[in-house]
Structure 1
Amino acid sequence: MTLLKSLVAAALLSTTLAASALAGEATVGDIAVRDAWTRATPPNAMAGGGFLIITNKGAADDKLVAASAPVTERTELHEMAVIDGVMKMREMEGGIPVPAGATVELKPGGLHVMFMDIKQPLKEGETLPITLTFEKAGTVTVDMPIAKIGAKEMNHDMHGGHGGHGTKKPSN
């Protein structure tokens, strides 16, 4: 009986470790982050964007209040929106709300993480660890796979994620 329990425990542990190793996914408290990715940058680029999907599985509202990455001097939370017929980008100084039971998508052309004053280029095929801080849930680090320059979406099947999320291959 002890051998059976050990085998079951080992199987559960390996499944847990495999799931936690998936690039672009992490959980902290009631917050689940998935499909995280960023784009490669040209050699002298000073900025880049990060994208992900946040789901609040809890009964209380939360808020993404900060982000950081080791290759940037500063990281900001931004929104792109059409204001008076002009596309403008602005910092979300109070953070990005994540209502209870809701999913918020950070994507190109909308809400996103902005990497400012990049110290080195982001290279396609590598990953960028990013630390996200939520007002209530706390802090979590997620590895963002780096897609090609100009990608519109990330193909997570190529970077350790799993299919079935409706993700597409990057556009040309």
Structure 2
Amino acid sequence: MFAVSLRRLALAAGLAAVSLPALAHDFHHDDLRIAHPFATPTPPGAPNGAAYLDIGVEGERPARLIGASSPVSEVVELHDMTMEDDRMVMRKLEAFEIAPGEPLTMRPGGGKHLMLINLEAPLSVGQRFPLTLEFAERDSVEVEVWVEEAAVGSESADAHHHHHH
């Protein structure tokens, strides 16, 4: 019985160590929840980068992300990347629609993301920067983006969320 209790205590301590940093990296504003904003590092001289995050609506009203801005780049655009006939196609979108109960999940490797265009300097692992998200019919929300290797950002966010869409 003592061994079982120690195992449970170790498991609880491990879960707390994993979840505390993740919780510190969530942002709540009214009925919006923005989780784990991260960007991937860029090679020296790369003009553009990408940022990813999860946006959930906890209320009844859908949300519409219509823009973003950051001091690390000249422009931030909303993009969607898809594969068409074995080639990547990137499209700029006017908005991302987020339905209540159906979070928008952005990850490297495809789908929706935020393009950081004309970077002021390369993005390096460990760096943090502000990103302002502009919503239609809601206040703007400022979040802190952490620059992490793609696998780190995906794993942290995936471990933090129990469902995927």
TM-score (norm 1): 0.73
Q: Secondary structure at the match of 1:42?
A: coil
Residue of structure 1 in register with 2:24 after alignment: 22
1:87 is displaced (CA, Å) by: 2.0
Residue of structure 2 in register with 1:13 after alignment: none
Residue of structure 2 in register with 1:10 after alignment: none
TM-score (norm 2): 0.76
Structure 1: 5+ residue runs without aligned partners? Answer: 1-17, 168-172
For 2:67 and 2:153, locate their aligned partners in 1 and report how far apart those are by CA, in whole Å. Answer: 23
Q: Tell me if 1:106 matches 2:101.
A: no
Query: What is the percentage of aligned positions where both structures have the same residue?
Result: 29
For 2:58 and 2:52, locate their aligned partners in 1 and report how far apart those are by CA, in whole Å. Answer: 19
For 1:166 and 1:58, locate their aligned partners in 2 and report how far apart those are by CA, in whole Å. Answer: 18
* Deviation readout 1:140-172 (Å, 9 max, x if unpaired): 111111113xx2441786xxx9x95159xxxxx
Pair 81,75 (structure 1): closer, same or farther in 2 beyond 3 Å:
same
Runs of 4+ that moved beyond 3 A: none
For 2:147 and 2:103, locate their aligned partners in 1 and report how far apart those are by CA, in whole Å. Answer: 23
How do residues 75-154 of structure 1 correspond to structure 2 at under 5 angstroms?
Answer: 75-93=76-94, 95-108=95-108, 109-148=110-149, 151-154=150-153
For 2:45 and 2:31, locate their aligned partners in 1 and report how far apart those are by CA, in whole Å. Answer: 38
Contact 1:35/1:156 (<8 A) preserved:
no
1:107 is displaced (CA, Å) by: 1.4
For 2:136 and 2:24, locate their aligned partners in 1 and report how far apart those are by CA, in whole Å. Answer: 24
1:50 is displaced (CA, Å) by: 0.4
Residue of structure 1 in register with 2:70 after alignment: 69
* Deviation readout 1:12-61 (Å, 9 max, x if unpaired): xxxxxx99x923x2122211000110011112110011011110111111
RMSD after superposition: 2.5
Between Structure 1 and Structure 2, how many residues are aligned?
141
Q: Secondary structure at the match of 1:65?
A: strand
> Which residue identity does 1:82 align to in structure 2?
M
More helix by share: 2
